[in-house]
Amino acid sequence: MTTVRLAHFSDIHLTARDPGWTIRDLFGKRVTGWVNLHALGRGKRFQHAPTVVAALRHELGTRGFDHLVFSGDASMLGFDSELRTAAAALGVDDPALPPGIAVPGNHDVYVGRAAQRRTFEQVFAPWQQGQRVRDSDYPFACKVGHIWLIALNSARPNFLPTDASGNIGDAQFQRLRELTATLGDGLRIVVSHYPVLMPNRKPEPRFHRLRDWKQARAIAAECDVRLWLHGHKHAWYVLPTGENLPFATICAGSSTQSKRWGYHEYAITGQQLVALRRAYDQGRDTFVDAETFELTL
């Protein structure tokens, strides 16, 4: 029986030296984001992100992965320059790296025009290849060994400065049904930015949650999804199938936030997942083995 090896990383939150501010940005959500970044401490938590991503890219190319999984929040404020910086740092166009799958996070569509410009989809195009329904961006699916990885976009722009919620929407849910009906045999794994539930098996607070999480939970189960990979929460956690959850979920946490930095390696044989968390060691500028866990999917 073959084993599929995946690397799952998320929430790298890179920025650019000159993001590309315009007059229009001074009257929108990006201003409050800038205050949070430079005055309220968020920027300090990610000050080493470029160095950590460089170490992560080395890992992605040297540890024998079959596929890479990125669950969003490449940028800080959704500027085109930030997204281009992140894609280049991760080596999205590097043919020496394994193929990948990527979905945007809420910071990648921070304002409406960032989503309308589809910059994330453009710069991450090599990691956006797969089987689709009609000409829609999402969802799409790619086969890796005996596994179907299914990209589902749960991120959306929000107007209020305090709103970091996500939404999938009825149209995308319908396409998910149509797409999964065309897939052949294989273990189905969703890749999305938002979690279904928090570690306490309850939804996140209203302005940080996936708004249609109940529908997501029901339809993913209906489509025989066995695992939901995500980010958004910067501390990693695992929820096995059980109370309030018909499938397992894994949060990779932030791969670059100071003292929380890390990513996951998954070895999936049949329905058995064996995971290793690799944590960043700042003194050695490399990732080292940390926790392990197992799931039956």
Query: What CA–CA distance (Å, rounded) separates 293 from 5?
Result: 15
Query: What CA–CA distance (Å, rounded) separates 19 from 297?
Result: 42
User: pLDDT tens across 110-162, in order?
Assistant: 998 899 999 999 999 999 999 999 889 999 999 999 999 999 999 999 989 88
| Residue 170 burial class via C-beta count within 10 angstroms: exposed 0-12, middle 13-18, buried 19 and up | exposed
Question: In 10 A of CB 122, how many CB atoms?
Answer: 13
Query: What CA–CA distance (Å, rounded) separates 261 from 257?
Result: 5
Nearest partner of 36 among 80, 72, 76, 81, judged by Cα: 76
User: pLDDT tens across 56-92, in order?
Assistant: 999 999 999 999 999 999 999 999 999 999 999 999 9
**Which residue has 């197992």 as its token pair?**
294
pTM of model > 0.85: yes
Cβ-contact 267, 3 below 8 angstroms: yes
Q: What is the structure's pLDDT at 18?
A: 86
The percent of residues in the chain predicted with pLDDT above 90, rounded, is 87
Classified as helix, coil or strand, 259 is coil
Q: What is the structure's pLDDT at 286?
A: 98
Q: What is the structure's pLDDT at 43?
A: 85
Is pLDDT above 80 for 227?
yes
User: pLDDT tens across 169-218, in order?
Assistant: 999 999 999 999 999 999 999 999 999 999 999 999 999 999 999 999 99
Sheet bearing 147-151, strands edge to edge: 131-132, 140-144, 147-151, 187-191, 225-230, 248-251, 237-239
User: pLDDT tens across 15-72, in order?
Assistant: 998 887 788 887 789 988 888 888 877 889 999 999 999 999 999 999 999 999 999 9
The token pair at 274 is 């064996």
Q: What is the structure's pLDDT at 31?
A: 85
Q: What is the structure's pLDDT at 28?
A: 81
Q: What is the structure's pLDDT at 181?
A: 97
Q: What is the crossing angle of helices 213-222 and 170-182, to 10°?
A: 10
Nearest partner of 249 among 210, 194, 172, judged by Cα: 194
- Mean pLDDT, residues 262-288: 98
Query: What CA–CA distance (Å, rounded) separates 276 from 287?
Result: 12
